[in-house]
Amino acid sequence: MRVLSFALLVAFFQGLALGQTYSQDDIISGKALQQMGKTAYDTALKRLDGSESNCTRDTVHVRKEWRYIPGPERIAFVKAVECLMEKPNVYPNVTGPKSMFDSFGVLHYHLTPAVHNSAYFLLFHRLYIWTYEQKLRDMCGYKGAFPYWEWGLDAGGVEKSPIFDGSETSMGSNGAKTNKTGGGFFGGGSGGGCVTAGPFKNYTVNFGPNTARDPLAPNPRCLKRDLNTALCAAFASIKNTTETILESTDIESFQANIQGDFRYAGARKWSLAVHGGGHFTIAGDPGSDFFFSPLEPVFYLHHGQIDRMYFIYQNLDWANRQTMAGTITMMNQPPSRNGTLDDVLDISPVGGSFKYRQLLDTVGGSPFCFVYE
């Protein structure tokens, strides 16, 4: 009889608590994640039955994985992003940012110390990418599905991904191969230079990096990527994604496991974890910049997958997973109070102001109305 690993035992008992068990084969193949996603989808939609909110089964937006969105719709999404890159920046008194797309980078730069490894990580990024989606719809006329990127589907070769293959239905190619002497971050990837083909080949990154004397000053340059299949396979596989959800017993452990928060003994085994793994699978400039990574257009697909994991996690035990945990500063530095659901998240001038409890339910109508396919 095969001896089960500790990780599988944890997954087994957690699955049992949720009324479902999964074999290691089902976890690795993606069957378990697919089943959990379907359960979460159905659970969320059931809350719309008899609801008095403006969100209904007829109006709810269904977010989809990039490769399952039709080609013309993917092209329309890229055109909408490019449109946002032409709309005016909304931040006064800054010289580097030029566009509405850039404004999202400024917002993330300002709030980074409060919304990573803190109580606010998951709900801030939920509002952040939803607001981005609304700008694409309201300012640029996008009518299709908002995409996410399931990293594990590309763990066998990120360069061949429909997201990065450089075709007209992609988000642009890898960066040009560079001659590296130091190996790059975590050993470096297969590119490192400017994007060579497809969408965003001619996109100008207008400001940053965070290490600059004035990060918001003009610093025009090309978009660079350094795709890294080894990192994707090691940290952002379907197995890692699935077990992160299954092994998290509460919101505190879930957000620690998803970020590889080393303050938690149980999260240390994930190392870079799926959050860091997804970011550094793209890498490059500004993809590797902790503060300015939203200036990489695929950031929003990456964080769509993070939010999808959160959506699944919540809806597997909805009654008990409408909570918040942690303090209001990154790694509790400087030491700070615990966050609460009655704290207010104000992302003006880019977006609106909400209490965090309004952001818990993606079909709650305040302000959201979306599910994940």
Instruction: Determine the pLDDT at residue 13.
Output: 43
Tell me, yes or no, whether 338 lies in a domain.
yes
Instruction: Determine the pLDDT at residue 53.
Output: 81
Q: Which residues contact 320 (CB under 8 A, 6 or more apart)?
A: none
Instruction: Determine the pLDDT at residue 187.
Output: 63
Instruction: Determine the pLDDT at residue 186.
Output: 61
Instruction: Determine the pLDDT at residue 185.
Output: 52
DSSP string across 99-134: BHHHHHHHHHHHHGGGSSSSTTHHHHHHHHHHHHHH
pTM of this structure: 0.94
Digitized pLDDT (tens) for each residue of the chain, 373 residues in all = 444 444 444 444 444 445 568 999 999 999 999 999 999 999 999 999 987 788 999 999 999 999 999 999 999 999 999 999 999 999 999 999 999 999 999 999 999 999 999 999 999 999 999 999 999 999 999 999 999 999 999 999 999 999 999 999 999 999 999 977 544 456 689 999 999 999 999 999 999 999 999 999 999 999 999 999 999 999 999 999 999 999 999 999 999 999 999 999 999 999 999 999 999 999 999 999 999 999 999 999 999 999 999 999 999 999 999 999 999 999 999 999 999 999 999 999 999 999 999 999 999 878 999 999 9
Tell me, yes or no, whether 328 lies in a domain.
yes
At 102, which CATH number? Answer: 1.10.1280.10
Tell me, yes or no, whether 1 lies in a domain.
no
Tell me, yes or no, whether 307 lies in a domain.
yes
Tell me, yes or no, whether 281 lies in a domain.
yes
The tally of domains found in the chain comes to 1
Instruction: Determine the pLDDT at residue 181.
Output: 52
Instruction: Determine the pLDDT at residue 52.
Output: 78
d(CA 57, CA 270): 37
d(CA 76, CA 311): 26
**Is residue 81 within 8 Å of residue 297, measured between CB atoms?**
yes
Q: Which residues contact 279 (CB under 8 A, 6 or more apart)?
A: 287, 288, 293, 302
Per the structure, the complete domain to which residue 185 belongs is given by: 6-372
Instruction: Determine the pLDDT at residue 6.
Output: 44
Q: Which residue has the tokens 């035992």?
A: 9
Q: What is the 3-state secondary structure (H, E, C) of 151-174?
A: HHHHCCCHHHCCCCCCCCCCCCCC
Tell me, yes or no, whether 178 lies in a domain.
yes
